[in-house]
Amino acid sequence: MAKKATKGKMTYYFGKNTEGRGVAKAILGGKGANLAEMTGIGLPVPPGFTITTEVCKAYYDLGGKLPPDLMAEVKSQIGKLEKELGKSFGDSKDPLLVSVRSGAAVSMPGMMDTVLNLGLTDESVQGLAEGTNNERFAYDAYRRLINMYGDVVMGIDHHEFEAAFTKIKKKYKAAYDTDVPAEGLKELCDEYKKVYKRSTKKDFPQDPMEQLELAVEAVFKSWNTPRAIKYREIEGIRGLLGTAVNVQSMVYGNMGDDSATGVMFTRDNTTGNNSLHGDFLVNAQGEDVVAGIRETQHIEEIGQWNKAIEKQLKDIKKTLETHYTDMQDVEFTIERGKLFMLQTRTGKRTGAAAVKIACDMVREKLIDEKTALLRIPAKDLTQLLLPNFDPASKKTATLLTTGLNASPGAAVGKLAFTAAEAESRSAAGEKVILVRHETSPEDVNGMWAAQGILTSTGGRTSHAAVVAVGWGKCCVAGAKEISINEKARTITVNGKTLTHNDTISLDGTTGEVMLGDVETIHPELGGDFGKVMKWADKYRKLGIRTNADTPADSQRARDFGAEGIGLCRTEHMFFEGERIVAVREMILSETEPERRKALKKLLPIQRKDFVGIFTAMQGLPVTVRLLDPPLHEFVPHEEAAQKELADHMGVTLQVVKDRVSQLHESNPMLGHRGCRLSITYPEILEMQVQAIVEAAILCHKKKVKTKPEIMIPLVGTFKELKLLREKVEETIASTIAAKKFEGKLDILIGTMIEIPRAALTADEVAEHADFFSFGTNDLTQMTFGYSRDDTGSFLPDYLRKDILHVDPFESLDQTGVGQLVEMGVTKGRSAKPDLKVGICGEHGGDPSSIDFCHRVGLNYVSCSPFRVPIARLAAAQAALRNA
Amino acid sequence: MAKKATKGKMTYYFGKNTEGRGVAKAILGGKGANLAEMTGIGLPVPPGFTITTEVCKAYYDLGGKLPPDLMAEVKSQIGKLEKELGKSFGDSKDPLLVSVRSGAAVSMPGMMDTVLNLGLTDESVQGLAEGTNNERFAYDAYRRLINMYGDVVMGIDHHEFEAAFTKIKKKYKAAYDTDVPAEGLKELCDEYKKVYKRSTKKDFPQDPMEQLELAVEAVFKSWNTPRAIKYREIEGIRGLLGTAVNVQSMVYGNMGDDSATGVMFTRDNTTGNNSLHGDFLVNAQGEDVVAGIRETQHIEEIGQWNKAIEKQLKDIKKTLETHYTDMQDVEFTIERGKLFMLQTRTGKRTGAAAVKIACDMVREKLIDEKTALLRIPAKDLTQLLLPNFDPASKKTATLLTTGLNASPGAAVGKLAFTAAEAESRSAAGEKVILVRHETSPEDVNGMWAAQGILTSTGGRTSHAAVVAVGWGKCCVAGAKEISINEKARTITVNGKTLTHNDTISLDGTTGEVMLGDVETIHPELGGDFGKVMKWADKYRKLGIRTNADTPADSQRARDFGAEGIGLCRTEHMFFEGERIVAVREMILSETEPERRKALKKLLPIQRKDFVGIFTAMQGLPVTVRLLDPPLHEFVPHEEAAQKELADHMGVTLQVVKDRVSQLHESNPMLGHRGCRLSITYPEILEMQVQAIVEAAILCHKKKVKTKPEIMIPLVGTFKELKLLREKVEETIASTIAAKKFEGKLDILIGTMIEIPRAALTADEVAEHADFFSFGTNDLTQMTFGYSRDDTGSFLPDYLRKDILHVDPFESLDQTGVGQLVEMGVTKGRSAKPDLKVGICGEHGGDPSSIDFCHRVGLNYVSCSPFRVPIARLAAAQAALRNA
């Protein structure tokens, strides 16, 4: 659909004779492309033009210089604009004024800088006053220009402007900005120009084209500010040329009480309800809405103010949704009763809203179910699965106040007052809620780190709300009753004062702010969610299993739709309660008979665990991984605990200490663990296999079907697997014989592929395996040579410097590690065509990794219970995308 | 040349109408093939037949049972033998007696069991007495049979037989075995039969065919004794079917003073001198020579005993060497003046002998220089390069005694009295000399572990000597003046008593045993060694570089023929003297300016190092690896040293402690090291590159040519290399500019391939590299998931259980790691066809790894200076073998 850009063309006009319709978003940016599109479908859009993202790239390629011919082309576009509007740039009568905004191919809310009212000078401000017959308005526009321009283009500290404004307000005894008369604003413009000169050593530019040139450059510069880079990092946005610049004629929402400005979603972006959602402000500029400084009105109330506008907005909603077949996020301004659309883009939404909107649009026949599936960002399903507050616990909680339900979810944490504090305390392991008057782009790192966000001002479309919804993070905004003392690190609300050590609970779905740690419960699933899951199951090719070590987890995963357990780690079972004592006895044993004695105590416990898990899974496959971690993880490292163990075992403390120090390893990740343990201590393997088989027999007697799969970890050579497989088979046979069991047990024996060498020699390994399961956590560690425990010292730097696009432990490195996975599958199946192959690393729940797993032909992915729905959806999307 | 075995044929006759000539060694075993061969070329060999190795395999395949038709075929061969010799098996007049010996395709000295005099029964022993007219001889043969048969076939403790013999000797007041009269031996046979019955609950078998059947089975069984398995493990012998069994008519060297038995090398296997070398014993059986129980005579003296035999042996030497074109190790027996050859095989030899014999045989036109090159086991060259004792130091040393110079070399260590002791003390890091009366196959593990071997009895062909020569291990045998008290763990020699805590020095070249730790010096090289190296350089395709970090090592490597430095580790330079203080200052710095200050102190030191190395290498390439190890390796971990550092730096102890603990890593192997350091602290890289460039400029001024190659370690993604390459290039340019240098510097920039991911993405990496160097140590660690520091807990078990054939850190794992190397080369060259590729892991000096490097098309291998000659030879062999 997207046209190619016209070669050499740097700007595209929209208005009369729109040039840019259908040109790729990559070139025009999202905002620019949509402005051209809206103009094209006949919506009222103030005309203007877009400077392409290619120019931004050229700017950086030239070492931070605008291409030489750019301004000539810009000048010609300004000429067109002057002609269409019958105004002229810098005119002393009725000057053409423009806004300059950034707009990359991908929306980055609040990240890029904007300049409004550009074109005003000492001379043209008078023309504006005349033209509008409103001197106050003209000087208000001018002071805003000098302020924004000084701040954004010239980098002047905005506190300097604020200080000047405060002085003027005092002088005129004005409570609000709007109380300052024209006289005062005129004076303020002079003060602002002084601030400007003091900081820049230059006068505020009086040539509109000079203003424009510097503003364009400022937008390009803002593409590479640390906060913009950080945002792209968090969102995994890459491959963009840069940002486009949109130069658009100004319209004003602050021309009186018949003017307004607003931001609106065509459906509720938090719940998905099919009703307009958003805020508007009468007699205000757009920035006032987004910044959340003034209290906004809900869009539902706009009819009370202007019935015709309400109807027009509803019509436009329909036009847009029919055109884009998706929910839109629009900005609009009403200038003296006339509506102008300033922007449209696909609206960010919560996971719940994504599900509901997709299902509704299928019902409305706007889209089909495949499109609906592809519309829902799989990872956002997490939000639907996350716990809500337990109503019972809420009933007894102290409600502090109620703010706006800006982004749903339940968050509990201690109070943090700055982004930096939220970051550092989170890094130290604390759960915190970031509390701010309002948030700004500088706060994103802290917002990311916090459990939830609470602001005392700002609405549903404020910075805090928009960013939080994008991330699926709980946010309560505009909780006006809260008074924040950032310096003292306290908040006061309805007579209560809380410090940074107090815990609060935020309900982003209701806007409630509660004292203390309110308990959470799991959500009920069904309805549209169930429908999406059903669609997903219809299209996906991958099986979905779960990683679960307890009957409770197994049950939860089944509830979420898991078709089996892909990884049941037995070591977690070793830590609970009394068992650890027997485990330690086993480890401290000096001889095999002693070890066997200790293992005998563990046998019934392990058997019981397996009976529980098998029963929960009701005949679905359960892949049990034999003991994996190095033994030193099980022994106590503190002297007191060592002494206790020594006493219990009747040996001296020194004996325990010696064994613990003997078990110490320089690089435990690459040490005596996994199948290496079973080679050295086959009796551990024997006990575990015996427990599995006995559990299966017990289940069989109770008519519970079982399908155990025994998985041998950390195999690097086929001989390890061959030897241990024989040992497992012997133990199965001897256990069946000892129990005189006459039924049929269907037990597979396979291995994890997590050592690079196992993937490289997968053909040899497959000869002895019924199945492979890729352990991509360890495979990633060894393929990169990264210890997960130690990457803290360099991985953040690697992400920052774009050496790595994403943390390879979160999303599978398809270029490197992926090669080994593919090799493992291909070689493995070359030796054994019907080899069952899955993945049980944490990548099994990551949508982009699931796409990869689909493409290389795995049989299933396995992930944590909560990610099972994500995996089901992502698997369907992979099947549809790669069809 | 080797014929295929006749299908289904289980035995091959040699004698009149020899059947087995030209049948593969794999089928007849080495001994069997050579017996057939010797018979074929007309040498006097007692007739017999060989049961094939296939039968041994069948025996194991049948779960330890002889194939049903075997004994019928054996009976028919016995029939032929009876016919040729005119004797019959079990005859009461002049019985046919046979020996039963093992013989696999590869020689395993002392490993397999032998039974002599088989066919003697209570009845036929009288026939033998009659036939030989020597009752004493007959009963001596019988008692030997019962003893060996009981020991080897039935597993009776040989001490029981020894005890019985001692009683008889006492009764007959005999000092030596030979002093016991016929009467006593007759009595001894009865005693032995009682021992036999007591242990086995059966009578000694009186049916010769039953004896034979059980003996054949015993030979097969001995194939899989732990010691045989261990020997194969150490020698890397694999892929064999099993052992053959040689059944051969007996001849006797103990039939009086006109009889003798001996073992002989056709050339001196320790020096290579072209003269007969070995031992003989008049009136003795072969086992007496090999076991080293009686003192043997040197073969040079045989002419004094029998001139005709001497001539005959010299003729046979010529026949054999002409036929086999190699030095032979033969066994012979002289029965009543008539010479019989019992065995021939290619003789094991020291590295020095291998070189001399190969060169001599080229001069004698027996072989050409290519064959000569292939004849010398490359790794045995180590022996020629190993230090000898410093004559000056020897002059002042206390000579304890002089034994036989059984296997050359210089060994220093404390006394160990049993093989087990030698093993365990060596494992604990001690250097020990194993001191034994004589060694036996049970001792091999201890011999392997010891620095050298000292025996008080036994000759140059004793077990100790043969095994030691095979391994290139220093051995002094037959040091008769030493009296060993195994129980008290002391030796007494010429009035001195030494304990297990005393150190001795063994000179295997001279046979001297000295008190204390005598100093060693490096050998002079030239002559035949130089010739071999010249030949090797003519045929090899691989370049040979060295791993050297100092000017002295660089010089030594050049003397050995290194063509450049493939790995110059800069971290070693950081530890010496005062530098470590500056290094620690750098690490403890909190800011970049502080770090730069500390680095400034290091710059002149590093520069001086490089000037030294560049000067030593005179324009040959020098690959400098930038800093690699994690920083915590450089900081002190003991409180006292930390305090000192804190004082020096003017900070508190806590500051130092905090930084040290901050640097701690869970898995340092996979942590913040290699290029990851340069990403975080680019200033370290800058200092090192500056030092390299300044050194090159200084050399340039002194007309010393330089060819530096800067190597960036631990790269896993091309972006790391791209970023650091830019940084290196910038630093080179800025250093050249700062020094106003106008000459030309030729500096390559490349990377180590040691992270699996780097090999997997070598095409991307190669875009930014002038060269690759495979760091196969780390590559092996990560591909296997083995930490070299931690393999002690499982790797010995893995080798024992044959999960791994060899330690993958000694010899490159061609199946797994090799795939990554090959992939690295292929992908790297696909992106950059002229990419220079080498290897600098320790595998660069291992012959079988070098063969692999040749095959995958590397440009060079780099190894430690001492292994350079090995690498040169191995590279030539690889070129010849793969031509």
B834 min Cα distance to partner chain A (Å):
24
A815 min Cα distance to partner chain B (Å):
7
Task: Say if the Cβ atoms of A801 and B723 lie within 8 Å.
Answer: yes
Exposure class string for A601-625: b at 16+ Cβ within 10 A, else e: bbbebbbbbbbbbbbbbeebbbbbb
Asked if B27 and B5 count as a contact pair (C-beta separation under 8 A), the reply is yes
**DSSP-derived pairing of the beta strands A98-104 and A114-118:** antiparallel
Chain A residues with CB-CB distance to B760 below 8 A: 783, 815-816, 819-820
Task: Say if the Cβ atoms of A787 and B813 lie within 8 Å.
Answer: no
Q: Retrieve residue B254's tokens.
A: 């103990």
**pLDDT band for position B1 (50/70/90)?**
very low
Judged against a pLDDT cut of 60, whether residue B131 lies above it is answered with yes
Kindly report the number of other CB atoms within 10 A of residue B703's CB atom: 6
CB-based burial label for A512 (10 Å; 0-12, 13-18, 19+)? buried
For residue B436, list its beta bridge partners: B455
Cα separation, B783 vs A782, whole angstroms? 7
* DSSP annotation string for B628-673: -S-GGGTS--SHHHHHHHHHHHT--HHHHHHHHHHH--SSGGGSS-
Judged against a pLDDT cut of 80, whether residue B293 lies above it is answered with no
pLDDT value for B306: 96
pLDDT in tens, A869-880: 999 999 999 999
Cα separation, A113 vs A101, whole angstroms? 7
**pLDDT band for position A470 (50/70/90)?**
low
A255 min Cα distance to partner chain B (Å):
54
Task: Say if the Cβ atoms of B720 and A803 lie within 8 Å.
Answer: yes
Rg (CA), chain B: 32
Kindly report the number of other CB atoms within 10 A of residue A427's CB atom: 10
pLDDT in tens, A774-832: 999 999 999 999 998 888 888 888 987 889 988 899 899 999 999 999 999 999 999 99
Cα separation, B55 vs B5, whole angstroms? 12
Query: Which of B668, B719, B755 is closest, CB to CB, to A784?
Result: B755
Task: Say if the Cβ atoms of A816 and B785 lie within 8 Å.
Answer: no
**pLDDT band for position A388 (50/70/90)?**
confident
Task: Say if the Cβ atoms of A666 and B668 lie within 8 Å.
Answer: yes
Judged against a pLDDT cut of 70, whether residue B412 lies above it is answered with yes
pLDDT value for B851: 97
CB-based burial label for B7 (10 Å; 0-12, 13-18, 19+)? exposed
**pLDDT band for position B760 (50/70/90)?**
very high
Report long-range pairs for A835-838 (Cβ below 8 Å, ≥24 apart): A835/A766, A835/A769, A835/A770, A835/A771, A835/A772, A836/A748, A836/A750, A836/A770, A836/A771, A836/A772, A837/A771, A837/A772, A837/A773, A837/A774, A838/A543, A838/A545, A838/A566, A838/A623, A838/A771, A838/A772, A838/A773, A838/A774, A838/A862
Chain B residues with CB-CB distance to A785 below 8 A: 669-670, 714, 716, 754-757, 778, 782
Asked if B52 and B65 count as a contact pair (C-beta separation under 8 A), the reply is no
Query: Which of A761, A787, A816 is closest, CB to CB, to B667?
Result: A787
A722 min Cα distance to partner chain B (Å):
9
Chain B residues with CB-CB distance to A671 below 8 A: 787, 790, 793
- Of all helices (H) and strands (E), which one includes residue B315? helix B307-324
- Return the axis-axis angle of helices B208-222 and B53-61, rounded to nearest 10°: 80
Query: Which of B761, B803, B816 is closest, CB to CB, to A761?
Result: B816
Task: Say if the Cβ atoms of B793 and A671 lie within 8 Å.
Answer: yes
pTM for the complete prediction?
A: 0.80
Cα separation, B814 vs B823, whole angstroms? 12
- Of all helices (H) and strands (E), which one includes residue A661? helix A653-663
- Of all helices (H) and strands (E), which one includes residue A74? helix A70-85
Specify the higher pLDDT residue, B546 or A111: B546
Judged against a pLDDT cut of 60, whether residue A2 lies above it is answered with no
Task: Say if the Cβ atoms of A756 and B783 lie within 8 Å.
Answer: yes
Q: Which residues of A are annotated as catalytic?
A: 463, 840
Coil, strand or helix at A813: coil
Chain A residues with CB-CB distance to B783 below 8 A: 755-757, 760, 782
Nearest residue in A to B721, CA atom: A803
**pLDDT band for position B20 (50/70/90)?**
confident
Chain B residues with CB-CB distance to A669 below 8 A: 666-667, 669-670, 785, 787
A645 min Cα distance to partner chain B (Å):
24
Q: Retrieve residue B518's tokens.
A: 């005598």
Chain A residues with CB-CB distance to B801 below 8 A: 679, 719, 723
Mean pLDDT calculated for residue range A418-442: 89
CA distances from A291 to A166, A281, A440 (A): 19, 12, 8
Query: Which of A714, A723, A794 is closest, CB to CB, to B785?
Result: A714
Which region holds residue A319: left if phi is over 0, alpha if psi is between -120 and 50, else beta?
Answer: alpha
- Of all helices (H) and strands (E), which one includes residue B507? strand B503-507
Cα separation, A602 vs A583, whole angstroms? 7
Nearest residue in A to B676, CA atom: A794
pLDDT in tens, A588-621: 888 899 999 999 999 999 999 999 999 999 999 9
Provide the mean pLDDT of chain A. 91
**pLDDT band for position B466 (50/70/90)?**
confident
Task: Say if the Cβ atoms of B723 and A761 lie within 8 Å.
Answer: no
A820 min Cα distance to partner chain B (Å):
8
Nearest residue in B to A817, CA atom: B757
Cα separation, B143 vs B114, whole angstroms? 15
Chain A residues with CB-CB distance to B761 below 8 A: 815-816, 819
Chain A residues with CB-CB distance to B719 below 8 A: 801-804
Nearest residue in A to B817, CA atom: A757
B685 min Cα distance to partner chain A (Å):
16
Query: Which of B680, B789, B815 is closest, CB to CB, to A794?
Result: B680
Provide the mean pLDDT of chain B. 91
Residue B108's nearest CA partner among B222, B278, B255 is B222
At A464, the amino acid letter reads A
Task: Say if the Cβ atoms of B793 and A680 lie within 8 Å.
Answer: yes
Nearest residue in B to A678, CA atom: B794
CB-based burial label for A63 (10 Å; 0-12, 13-18, 19+)? exposed
Asked if B437 and B456 count as a contact pair (C-beta separation under 8 A), the reply is yes
Task: Say if the Cβ atoms of B816 and A723 lie within 8 Å.
Answer: no
Cα separation, B543 vs B854, whole angstroms? 10
DSSP A23: B
At A490, the amino acid letter reads T
Cα separation, A369 vs A375, whole angstroms? 10
Coil, strand or helix at B817: helix
Residue B196's nearest CA partner among B147, B140, B163, B139 is B147
Task: Say if the Cβ atoms of A816 and B761 lie within 8 Å.
Answer: yes
pLDDT in tens, A514-571: 999 999 887 777 789 999 999 999 999 999 999 999 898 899 899 999 999 999 999 8
Asked if A728 and A689 count as a contact pair (C-beta separation under 8 A), the reply is yes
pLDDT value for B573: 80
Mutate to test the interface with B, among A637, A790, A802, A826 (most CBs of B within 10 A): A790
Chain B residues with CB-CB distance to A815 below 8 A: 760-761, 764
In total, the C-beta contacts within 8 angstroms joining chain A to chain B are: 171
Residue A209: half-sphere exposure toward Cβ, Cα within 13 Å: 11
**pLDDT band for position A112 (50/70/90)?**
low
**A802: which residues sit within 8 A by CB, 6+ positions away?**
A238, B719
Q: Retrieve residue A623's tokens.
A: 């892949």
**pLDDT band for position B863 (50/70/90)?**
very high
Task: Say if the Cβ atoms of A803 and B717 lie within 8 Å.
Answer: yes
**B236: which residues sit within 8 A by CB, 6+ positions away?**
B805, B806
Nearest residue in B to A719, CA atom: B803
Asked if B321 and B328 count as a contact pair (C-beta separation under 8 A), the reply is yes
Cα separation, B82 vs B71, whole angstroms? 16
Of A18-32, A102-116, A859-873, give the range with the top mean pLDDT.
A859-873
Specify the higher pLDDT residue, A574 or A124: A124
Residue A46's nearest CA partner among A71, A81, A20 is A81
Coil, strand or helix at A475: strand
Cα separation, B688 vs B396, whole angstroms? 47
DSSP A453: E
Least confident of A152-166, A182-196, B833-847: A152-166
**B61: which residues sit within 8 A by CB, 6+ positions away?**
none
Q: Retrieve residue A874's tokens.
A: 């992502």
Mutate to test the interface with B, among A631, A777, A782, A823 (most CBs of B within 10 A): A782
**pLDDT band for position A841 (50/70/90)?**
confident
pLDDT value for B457: 83
**pLDDT band for position A676 (50/70/90)?**
very high
SS3 labels along B151-206: HHHCCCCHHHHHHHHHHHHHHCCCCCHHHCCHHHHHHHHHHHHHHHHHHHCCCCCC
Mean pLDDT calculated for residue range A114-140: 91
Cα separation, B790 vs A298, whole angstroms? 66
* DSSP annotation string for A319-336: HHHHHHSS-EEEEEEEET
Task: Say if the Cβ atoms of B667 and A672 lie within 8 Å.
Answer: no
Task: Say if the Cβ atoms of A816 and B670 lie within 8 Å.
Answer: no
Cα separation, B813 vs B808, whole angstroms? 5
B155 min Cα distance to partner chain A (Å):
28
Report long-range pairs for A61-68 (Cβ below 8 Å, ≥24 apart): A64/A221, A66/A213, A66/A216, A66/A217, A66/A220, A67/A10
pLDDT in tens, B551-571: 988 998 999 999 999 999 998
pLDDT in tens, B36-59: 999 999 999 999 999 999 999 999
Asked if B450 and B416 count as a contact pair (C-beta separation under 8 A), the reply is yes
Residue A281 phi/psi, 5° resolution? -135, 130
For residue A281, list its beta bridge partners: A261
SS3 labels along B839-883: ECCHHHHCHHHHHHHHHCCCCEEEECHHHHHHHHHHHHHHHHHCC
Judged against a pLDDT cut of 60, whether residue B109 lies above it is answered with no
Task: Say if the Cβ atoms of B757 and A785 lie within 8 Å.
Answer: yes
A814 min Cα distance to partner chain B (Å):
11
Residue B134 phi/psi, 5° resolution? -150, 90
Task: Say if the Cβ atoms of B820 and A760 lie within 8 Å.
Answer: yes
Kindly report the number of other CB atoms within 10 A of residue A767's CB atom: 14
**DSSP-derived pairing of the beta strands B95-96 and B98-104:** unpaired
pLDDT in tens, A154-166: 889 888 998 999 9
